[in-house]
Amino acid sequence: MSRPALHIGPEMLIASAPPQLLLGPYHTQHSALHDLEFTGVLQPWQGFLSSVQTAHQNYTFRSQTLALTLKTRDPYAQGNVEIGDEHGLLGRFHKHFGDVLNSVFTSHSTGIRFADFKCVQSTFSGTPDVILKDDNHHVKVAGELKVPWIADHWLEDKYNDVDQLRIILAQPIKYMQGLGCVYGFMSNYEETIFLRQLVDSQGA
């Protein structure tokens, strides 16, 4: 007897929570923060949440089916691979965020997609963990990942401590500056800080 399946469209895909990470019994226990500190102006992104909510509410999603999930237990809907370091996290991130959002971008003919940094031609010496590139293979967003079980990588408890933010955000900001990206992010899979780079009146 066939097993019933639920048809999933773009809006439902975006609204679905990603699976929890499956941490292996042996895993890295050391901070992966670089010896960097951002010394420029760091300010909250005013109106970010309301802008995202408004854009989502006003967007017309197409009604096509992008995925099927079994109404009974679906082995593909969960995170089944144990991870132990940042490389494992990167694989899970691309699967549960990159694959999902790329399918939505493609269905709506949006000219941007998640990719590995080596997919673009660049003389930049660094290597962001995650990028979003446009149809001309230009990097539009640079992202950095850190594993969530290391206290140094937690984001929420540092949000109101500008000195700690200057350290934990320094690496993605360096990538944004080096690649000329307006947008970037720092994520530990469970928490994410989105970044925007603005030029002030002095051109800095």
Q: Go through the domains of the chain in sequence order and give each one's CATH number.
A: 5-27+41-196 (3.90.1570)
Averaged pLDDT for residues 122-136: 96
SS3 of residue 145 by DSSP = strand
In angstroms, the CA 105 to CA 58 distance is: 17
With 60 as the cut, is the pLDDT of residue 2 above it?
no
Per-residue pLDDT band for 10 (boundaries 50, 70, 90) equals confident
* pLDDT confidence of residue 3: 58
* pLDDT confidence of residue 54: 95
* pLDDT confidence of residue 56: 85
* pLDDT confidence of residue 14: 81
154 burial (CB, 10 Å; 0-12 / 13-18 / 19+) is middle
SS3 of residue 68 by DSSP = strand
Q: Tens digits of per-residue pLDDT, 138-176? A: 999 999 999 999 999 999 999 999 999 999 999 999 999
CB within 8 Å of 18: residues ≥ 6 apart? 79, 96, 97, 100, 189
Q: Tens digits of per-residue pLDDT, 88-122? A: 999 999 999 999 899 889 888 999 999 999 999 99
Q: Which is higher by pLDDT, 130 or 69? A: 130
Residue type at 143 in one-letter notation: G
**Sign of the CA dihedral with 7 first, then 11, 12, and 16 last:** positive
Q: Tens digits of per-residue pLDDT, 32-82? A: 999 999 999 999 999 999 999 999 888 888 777 666 565 544 545 566 799
